[in-house]
């Protein structure tokens, strides 16, 4: 009973964090020059791989001839190896999104966070023979990343990627495809370089339905679709610099 209560509490806490982030006016520190007239979008999907939804998303990406970045949960990788292989073989990028996606466990300490990422890195390597070094903090890096921790992650070869546009499928997957589509447009309007947060877990069937329209919108607006890799300038929520 206690474990069930804690699981529900963690789920609600995750939802609250994502809701808060989605409604905050966040600032970013990044090497991205958003004054560029070249419009670029990075489609990103968290919380996979899932059996049905991730494959459906891959089908749409293939049909639309665009690539995306998938931040995977490590404990889902081994028994869904064929999906991970498909992501990689079809030219998409793979990043790390923790091993358990359990907030209390992940953020217990910096060492605990790093261990989660290393285990996920190992899991992906065992499937495709490549060690991803791009990471996304579950719930975003705000409140978890500071200059010292960032340097520690860099020493391990990791680079951090948050987002500047999103749909709310991560905490309200039941929102209609039309609402999700409108959220993608509304939250991305002021950016020439868009990092769009979406999800591909088992509950995100409405994301699948919204995705073709989202892709078509950005194509019509002249955006270039890119994947995140280790050469992509980092993009993360701003944190306070260490005092001299």
Catalytic residue among 46, 47, 162, 204: 46
> Which H or E run includes 135?
strand 134-135
Share of the chain above pLDDT 90, in %: 82
Q: How many alpha carbons fall within 13 Å on the CB side of residue 215? A: 21
φ/ψ of residue 98, rounded to 5? 90, 165
1 — pLDDT class (breaks 50, 70, 90): low
pLDDT digits (tens, 9 = 90+) for 35-76: 667 999 999 999 999 999 999 999 999 999 999 999 999 999
The whole domain housing 180 covers 2-237
**Domains identified in the chain, total number:** 1
Q: Is 148 one of the annotated active-site residues of the chain?
A: no
Instruction: Tell me whether residue 199 is in a domain.
Output: yes
Q: How many CB atoms lie within 10 A of CB 4?
A: 8
Per the domain annotation, does 47 fall within a domain?
Answer: yes
Q: What is the pLDDT of residue 241?
A: 80
Q: Is 122 a catalytic residue?
A: no
Q: What pTM, to 2 d.p., does this model score? A: 0.88
Q: What is the pLDDT of residue 37?
A: 77
List 101, 150, 199, 204, catalytic entry: 199
pLDDT at 32: 55
Burial class (CB in 10 A: 0-12, 13-18, 19+), 24: exposed
Task: Indicate which CATH number applies to the domain containing 66.
Answer: 3.20.20.370
How far, in Å, CA of 15 to CA of 8, rounded? 11
């Amino acid at each position: 009973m206690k474990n069930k209560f804690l699981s529900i509490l963690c789920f609600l806490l995750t939802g609250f964090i994502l809701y808060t982030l989605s409604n905050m006016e966040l600032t970013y520190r990044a090497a991205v020059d958003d004054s560029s007239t070249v419009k670029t979008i990075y489609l990103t999907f968290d919380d996979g791989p899932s059996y049905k939804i991730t494959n459906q998303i891959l089908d749409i990406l293939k049909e639309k001839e665009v690539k995306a970045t998938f931040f995977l949960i490590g404990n889902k990788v081994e028994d869904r190896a064929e999906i991970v292989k498909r992501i990689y073989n079809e030219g998409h990028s793979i990043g790390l999104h923790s091993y358990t996606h359990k907030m209390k466990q992940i953020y217990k300490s910096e060492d605990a966070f790093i261990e989660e990422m290393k285990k996920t890195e190992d899991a992906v390597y065992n499937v495709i023979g490549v060690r991803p070094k791009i990471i996304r903090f579950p719930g975003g890096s705000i409140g978890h990343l500071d200059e010292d921790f960032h340097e520690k992650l860099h020493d391990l070869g990791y680079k951090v990627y948050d987002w500047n546009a999103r749909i709310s499928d991560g905490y309200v997957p039941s929102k209609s495809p039309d609402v999700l589509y409108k959220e993608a447009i509304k939250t991305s309007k002021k950016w020439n370089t868009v990092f769009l947060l979406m999800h591909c877990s088992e509950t995100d069937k409405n994301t699948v339905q919204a995705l073709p329209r989202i892709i078509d919108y950005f194509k019509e607006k002249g955006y270039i679709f890119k994947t995140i890799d280790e050469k992509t300038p980092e993009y993360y929520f701003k944190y306070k610099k260490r005092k001299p």
